[in-house]
Amino acid sequence: MSLSRRTLLGVLAAGGAGVIPAAPATASGPTWPRDEDPVAYATRFLVGHQDAHHLFPPSVHIEALRRRLDGIEQIRQASDAATRRKLRAVQGAYAEHLSWLSKEAGDVTGCLAWAERAALWALDAGDHPMVTYMQLRRASVALDQRDHQTAVDLAEQAVSAAWPLPPVLRGIGHAYLARGHALACSRPDADMEHANELLNEPKGEDTPGYLRFYGRSFADAESATAYLEAGRPGEAIDLLTQCISGIPPTHRRDKASYLARLAHAHAAAQAPDAAADTASEALVIATEAGSQSVRAELMRLNTVLMSRWPDQPQALAFNELITAA
């Protein structure tokens, strides 16, 4: 899917991200308004893409954000010291979102590279919560790769950070600790309780914008995943079913991700029909949304289904579906 920057920004505005100014592209790079603070302008552009992440495949957002990031550096080099520091923090936030988008696109190497760049820029700007958040991004990747030791080490470093952190960030850390402990065959309950308490606290005015997506739904989904890894699929199924029922229709990637986890839970509960049917629904949504990370989870599930129930009709049908997709 290929869109011009002008078309992309126009569609984003129509989709509820109207704070994004429709700046035209030029041969030399993005055009910046001369009468507006560059920090506020660059931040609004990023927030628009964050809020509208579900409208396009990750590659579309990646292209637009990388071009805008080049423009930020040009503006930054011509700015005073105070503005350069603020723009460095904005660059860190851009790199964070590019890291997440790369993960969704199935580019784990790019995800980690952007996370490292985000942490370095954030450290340069004094944005310590972002530095910790990128530690947790690396922990998330380790969990996806079922590397519980690396995940636990990174999450423990994050929750024990020397600098002040918003409660939601520590909550994410405890959620990942719960999953890491579950993968290591240890009980995750204590960390799950800490995560639920912290993630359900009201967010203060000083909570960074990139943490606004984390709340009860995330806490429940992570708890469900920890239950699943701990061999308690029934509890995982109950929580994930509840999470999925509350997802807005436009949040396709979230729904696909939670459905994939639910499919794994059904398989762990020895219900291959339900697992295959749920996985089929997740695959359709993930394909529409361009989520390669969900597809990777479904490929892993397909291996489980084919090894345990190779003659089961629904499992065979899902195998054909994901092989053809």
The pLDDT score that the predictor gives to residue 6 is 47
- Kindly state the average pLDDT of the residues 194-222: 88
pLDDT tier at 249, thresholds 50, 70, 90:
confident
- Kindly state the average pLDDT of the residues 277-299: 95
The pLDDT score that the predictor gives to residue 32 is 66
Q: What is the mean pLDDT of the chain?
A: 89
- Kindly state the average pLDDT of the residues 245-265: 92
Cα–Cα nearest to 301, from 290, 288, 289, 281: 281
pTM of the model: 0.85
Range name among 37-51, 228-242, 301-315 with the lowest pLDDT average: 37-51
Amino acid sitting at position 321: L
Instruction: Specify whether the CB–CB gap between 181 and 68 falls below 8 A.
Output: no
pLDDT tier at 30, thresholds 50, 70, 90:
low
The tens digit of pLDDT for each residue in 64-91 reads: 999 999 899 999 999 999 999 999 999 9
The tens digit of pLDDT for each residue in 155-184 reads: 999 999 999 999 999 999 999 999 999 999
Instruction: Specify whether the CB–CB gap between 298 and 260 falls below 8 A.
Output: yes
Whether 241 shows a pLDDT value over 60: the answer reads yes
Q: Name the phi and psi angles at 98, rounded to 5.
A: -65, -35
Whether 29 shows a pLDDT value over 60: the answer reads no
Cα–Cα nearest to 264, from 275, 255, 252, 251: 275
pLDDT tier at 320, thresholds 50, 70, 90:
very high
Distances (CA, A) of 31 to 41, 71, 128: 11, 8, 31
The pLDDT score that the predictor gives to residue 9 is 46
Q: Is 157 buried (19+), middle (13-18) or exposed (0-12) by CB count in 10 A? A: middle
Whether 7 shows a pLDDT value over 70: the answer reads no
The pLDDT score that the predictor gives to residue 208 is 84
